[in-house]
Amino acid sequence: MRLFEITSQFKALAALEDSDDLPPEVIADTLEGLEGDFEAKAIAVSKFILSLEASADSIKEAAKAMDLRSARLTKRAESIRHYLLLQMQIIDWRRKIEADDIVIARRNNPVAVQVLDERSVPASFWVQPEPPPKRIDKKAVKEALQSGAEVPGCVLESGERVDIRL
């Protein structure tokens, strides 16, 4: 039986507690049996949740490791690319090497600006980034509401969560 089915039966039996359709002992025995079923299913579902969370954490760690490895390989490739360019510049023999499966060519980069002294660049060449959009400081609102102040449009609320520990 699935957890939601046990829950439905639990609710149906709880509604029958005040009726005379079934003797109270039968309802109590059935509820007691359902409690055990519910507990067992809740434990199984909780263990599945913990397993999923552990898998997610493991994947996050693997992704971090792969990101670091990718960055190292990219840096190494750039270093070796620079080495190849330097060697081609030193011998200045050819600007292009062609084979059946690869073409290696020295190309000129587009013209780029090098700023040597920021302080001497005129103000007309500076840009001011746009400020971030306004947002509500929920921490300040929470502190105000907890201290008894009224904040229009805001209330404190507390929900529930399932906490699973081993």
pLDDT in tens, 68-127: 999 999 999 999 999 999 999 999 888 999 999 999 999 999 999 999 999 999 999 999
Q: Say if 116 falls within a structural domain.
A: no
What residues have CB less than 8 Å from 144, skipping those under 6 apart? 151
Assess whether pLDDT exceeds 80 at residue 58. yes
Name the band, by pLDDT with cuts 50, 70 and 90, for residue 38. confident
Q: Say if 57 falls within a structural domain.
A: yes
Name the band, by pLDDT with cuts 50, 70 and 90, for residue 61. very high
Q: Say if 30 falls within a structural domain.
A: yes
Range of the domain at 26: 3-111
Asked which of 8-12, 55-59, 139-143, 153-157 is least confident by mean pLDDT, the reply is 8-12
Assess whether pLDDT exceeds 70 at residue 158. yes
Q: In the chain, how many domains are there?
A: 1
Q: What is the mean pLDDT of residues 2-31?
A: 70
To the nearest whole percent, how much of the chain has pLDDT over 70?
A: 89
To the nearest whole percent, how much of the chain has pLDDT over 90?
A: 66
Q: Say if 72 falls within a structural domain.
A: yes
Q: Say if 158 falls within a structural domain.
A: no
Rg (CA), the chain: 34
Asked which of 37-41, 52-56, 96-100, 144-148 is least confident by mean pLDDT, the reply is 37-41
145 contacts 137 by C-beta, under 8 angstroms: no
Q: Say if 95 falls within a structural domain.
A: yes
Q: Say if 36 falls within a structural domain.
A: yes
Cα separations in angstroms, 59 against 11, 52, 69, 71: 39, 10, 15, 18
